[in-house]
Every structure is written in structure tokens, then in C-alpha cells.
Amino acid sequence: MRPLKNRKRVVIVGMGFGGLNAARELAGSNLEVLCLDRQNYHLFQPLLYQVATATLDQESITYPLRALTHNWDNVEFIKTEVNGVDLKTRAVQTTEGPLAYDYLIVAAGSATNFFGNDSVQQHAFDLKKLSDAVGLRNHILSAFEQADKTEDEAERRALMTFVIVGGGPTGVEFAGALAELTHGVLIKDYPHLPVHETRIVLVEGQPHLLSPYPTPLQKYARKRIEKLGVEVRLGAMVSGAQADKVFLKDGSEINARTLFWSAGVQAAPLAATMDVPKARAGRILVEANLTLKEHPETYVIGDLAHLEVEGKSLPMLAQVAIQGGKYAAHSILACEAREEIAPFDYFDKGTMAVIGRGAAVAVSSGLQFKGFLAWLMWLGIHIMFLIGARNRLATLIGWAFDYIFYNRQVRLITDDDF
């Protein structure tokens, strides 16, 4: 990177929703902006489960970062791994060496939280990276291939049993998509296999699904997910796992070859390398303007940041990251212009979760929506936030094809090891 003369440098760590929006807002400014990420693409994480369940191909939810930044004269992307941050010398430590900064925006996101359960971490699938989704799809489809060949009834049942831990939006959405894949699509692919016996168990420690949602929507979600054939176990917790079993704290066990974990998230590992105060799940405590108390030039946004509003921490949602990225950029520009800026004020646009074909729940502006209308809202919001016309069109076509023909074209096993 050739330094831009007489320009201050902003380094953005992580090009998820927060980092990308910060870079976009800083484009065209009189600042040198370096965007760092270990991948060369932006990933639309909310739809990873649809790659895992063969609804969408992986290219539909990714977009090359250089294709975004090459039109911004003052912005450059560097593919690198960030190992730490030296706050005193104002340098980001990368695999290519240190990068000095005048302003820093840390938007490294989150990681799956297994709460110290090593056996679960060893045997469970999660969805944080693109490779996770492709690997899980390979595993699911291979399980049916193996079940179709085996003569052992117990082994076949274990291969066709899927345990999903976590009754939040990710767990509910994945369970619904998996149920539709097995009972609506794979049942036709394997005429000699009793696919109707597929068992999908959704385990949630709380007494209800979708904890942040109003009670009527929680009840609706459970009714719809059970109608799809998903077995819901509330007030249950997983204590351990092995390759062919999942153990529950009540002493029971489930014979299953697939365990999917969506029961918790924590700050990305980068947070642990930073010697700053932290809150629950390793999230970094920030001031009302999203900066570090002792380092006002450093902004921490999105899932990595812990900021309490009215006694509650801001949720780890895409909207929080998007608004935080825009705010950090505007704050830096205001600082350069020697202007004041108000504290970060998160505007809750609502939350939503899809349960299956034509069914979803949503809360927006104090209003509750469920069923087909909520499903249409969910479709529209996700299409709008995807990057690139090709991705929007490909996703829309994929959804339409699945809805009209009840078929999924991307049920491919792409790893020879499966």
C-alpha cells in the first residue's frame, strides 16, 4: 500500500456488515482507508443455513471485496490475518507485519460459544464461515447416501437423526429448512429409503422458542415448526456428545450422527488479544460513542462491542453492526472536521425469523406479524441487504424455484472425503 501524502489513515478490521458500511461511508473522504479481512469476500451470514440445506449456492451470499473497493479511490483492501492490536503505538499486527493507524475500527464479529464443552465443540457443526455451510451440506447429504446403503437399522436411524441445539432464530430457521429438505425433496431422491422416518430434534434450554419475541409469536413458531415434523424439546440442555450420540443433562441420550450447535455466540478471538475491559462473552466494553475509554481513536462495533442501553446490552444483530459502522465513520469525519457528534443511538428496526414455506414471525415498530405477510417481509429485507444485482437475482430465482417446484438444485456433495 502506497501511503497517501498528508492523509490520516483509518484501518478497518473485519469486512462484515459493520466494517463494510464504515468503509462505504468513508469512501471519497480525505482519509486513507485500509480494509483488512482474512477472506476476500463479504459474507451474508444470515443465509448460511440456506447453503447448508441446499437452497442456495455459496456464490449467492458472497461478494468479492475488491469489486466493492476498487471504485473508491481512497480505500484499499488487504487480505490478511489480524493477530492483535497495539493500542499504545497505534499499530495493527497482521501476518504481513504491523500497520500503523490514526483511527481504528474493530469489526471482527463473533464466534460460536460452546461454553467450555469440549466434546460438543469436537463433534458439533456450527455456521459462522462459508466453509461451515458447505461442510454441513456435504455431511447432511452424505448421511442419506450412507443410510441408503446400510443394512443396519440402528445405524440408519442414527444417520437420519439430526439434533439442533438452540431455539433462537438460527436454530429455528435451520430446523425448518432441514425438515423441508428431507420431507419435501430427499424423500423423492431415495425411493427405497424410509426418509419419512427422519428425526429432527430441536433442543432449547428455555421454556419456549425464540426468547426475545412476544409470547404469541413464540407459540406460533413452535406450532409451525412441529407441523413440519420437528420434535421440540424445551427446558432441555446438552451435556456432551460423541460421534454417534448426544447426551442431555437429564441423563437421556439421542443416537444421532449429526449435531448442530446454535446455542450461543461470543466475541471473536481478536478480542482476547486486546488488553481492555470486557463484559459477558468476551465482548469489549465501549463508551457511548463506541470508542475505548482510554483510546478515543479506537472504535469497536458490532458483535464485538458491549454497550448497555437502558440496562440491556445491544444485541448481536446485523442491524447493530450496520448502524455502528456508519456511526463510527461519521464520528471520524466529524472529528477531522472538529465537529461534535451525538452518542450512538441504535434504532431498532425489528427482528424476524422464517420458519418455513410461507411462514415467519416478525416484530417491527411495536407491531407483530406472523404467517405469509411476515414471510414476505423477511424475503424483501434479505433481498434488499444482499450485495450485488447478480446475488439478488440468483437468490430470488432460487427461492422461487424452491417455492414453486418444491425442489432444491444445490444438493451437491462437493468433498470426496464424504
pTM: 0.94
State residue 406's pLDDT score. Answer: 82
Query: What is 8-38+80-112+266-336's CATH superfamily?
Result: FAD/NAD(P)-binding domain (3.50.50.60)
Distance from C-alpha of 306 to C-alpha of 283, rounded to nearest angstrom? 5
Instruction: Kindly give, in sequence order, each residue whose CB lies less than 8 Å from that of residue 407, ignoring residues fewer than 6 positions away.
Output: 185, 401
Interstrand relation of 291-292 and 295-300 (parallel, antiparallel or unpaired): antiparallel
Active-site residue list: 173
The Cβ-side half-sphere exposure at 187, using a 13 Å CA radius, reads 13
State residue 1's pLDDT score. Answer: 44
Please answer whether residues 119 and 26 qualify as being in contact, where contact means their C-beta atoms are separated by less than 8 angstroms: no
Per DSSP, helices labelled H in 302-388 are: 318-336, 372-385
Domain boundaries, given as residue ranges, for the chain: 8-38+80-112+266-336, 118-263+350-405
The per-residue pLDDT string of the chain (418 residues; one tens digit each, 9 = 90 and over) reads 445 457 899 999 999 999 999 999 999 999 999 999 999 999 999 999 999 999 999 999 999 999 999 989 999 999 999 999 999 999 999 999 999 999 999 999 999 999 999 999 999 999 999 999 999 999 999 999 999 999 999 999 999 999 999 999 999 999 999 999 999 999 999 999 999 999 999 999 999 999 989 999 999 999 999 999 999 999 999 999 999 999 999 999 999 999 999 999 999 999 999 999 999 999 999 999 999 999 999 999 999 999 998 888 999 999 999 999 999 999 999 999 999 999 999 999 899 999 999 999 999 988 999 999 999 999 999 999 999 999 999 999 999 988 888 888 789 999 877 5
Distance from C-alpha of 102 to C-alpha of 92, rounded to nearest angstrom? 11
Task: Look at residues 155, 126, 44, 102 and name the one whose alpha carbon lies nearest to residue 382.
Answer: 44
Distance from C-alpha of 44 to C-alpha of 60, rounded to nearest angstrom? 9
State residue 2's pLDDT score. Answer: 46
State residue 399's pLDDT score. Answer: 92
Residue type, 118: D
Interstrand relation of 367-370 and 359-364 (parallel, antiparallel or unpaired): antiparallel
Task: Look at residues 32, 37, 42 and name the one whose alpha carbon lies nearest to residue 76.
Answer: 32
For 118-263+350-405, CATH number?
A: 3.50.50.100
Please answer whether residues 101 and 8 qualify as being in contact, where contact means their C-beta atoms are separated by less than 8 angstroms: no
Alpha carbon distances (Å) from 343 to 91, 276, 287, 288: 26, 21, 9, 5
State residue 415's pLDDT score. Answer: 83
Alpha carbon distances (Å) from 10 to 65, 100, 345: 17, 9, 23
Distance from C-alpha of 43 to C-alpha of 302, rounded to nearest angstrom? 15
Domains 8-38+80-112+266-336 and 118-263+350-405 share a fold: yes
State residue 5's pLDDT score. Answer: 54
State residue 167's pLDDT score. Answer: 96
Distance from C-alpha of 327 to C-alpha of 19, rounded to nearest angstrom? 11
